[in-house]
Amino acid sequence: MDPQNSTNDVNAEENMLLTHARTLRIHTGNLVNRNRLKKKCPSSPSEELRDCIQATLSDWLSMTKPPSEDLTDTLDCSVPQATDVITPEEREEVKVSVKLFLCDPIQSSIRDAVELGCQTLAVSQLDSVIIAPPALVEGDSLTLAHLQPTWEELETLVRSQRIAAIGTSDLDKDLLEQLHTWAQVKPSSNQVNLASCCVMPPDLTAFAKEFDIQLLTHSDPKELMSAAAFQEAVQEGTQDLNVVDWRLEWVLRYSIIVKSRGIIKSKGYLVSARKTNP
pLDDT in tens, 19-36: 778 899 999 988 887 654
Residue ranges in the chain modelled with pLDDT below 50: 1-10, 36, 38
The domain in which residue 48 lies consists of 3-275
Beta strands across the sheet bearing 246-258: 74-78, 23-27, 263-275, 246-258, 94-102, 126-132, 163-169, 189-193, 214-218
The amino acid at residue 87 is T
The pLDDT value given to residue 6: 42
pLDDT score recorded for residue 22: 86
Interacting residues of 167 by C-beta distance below 8 A, sequence separation 6+: 128, 129, 130, 131, 187, 188, 189, 190, 191, 214, 216
Nearest to 116 by CA among 220, 20, 253: 253
pLDDT tens-place string over residues 121-152: 999 999 999 999 877 656 678 899 999 999 99
pTM, two decimals, is: 0.89
Output DSSP code: residue 77. Answer: E
The Cα 25–Cα 74 span in angstroms is 7
Total count of domains within the chain: 1
Q: Could you tell me if 54 and 241 are in contact, meaning their C-beta atoms sit under 8 angstroms apart?
A: no
Of 148, 154, 152, the closest CA to residue 131 belongs to: 154
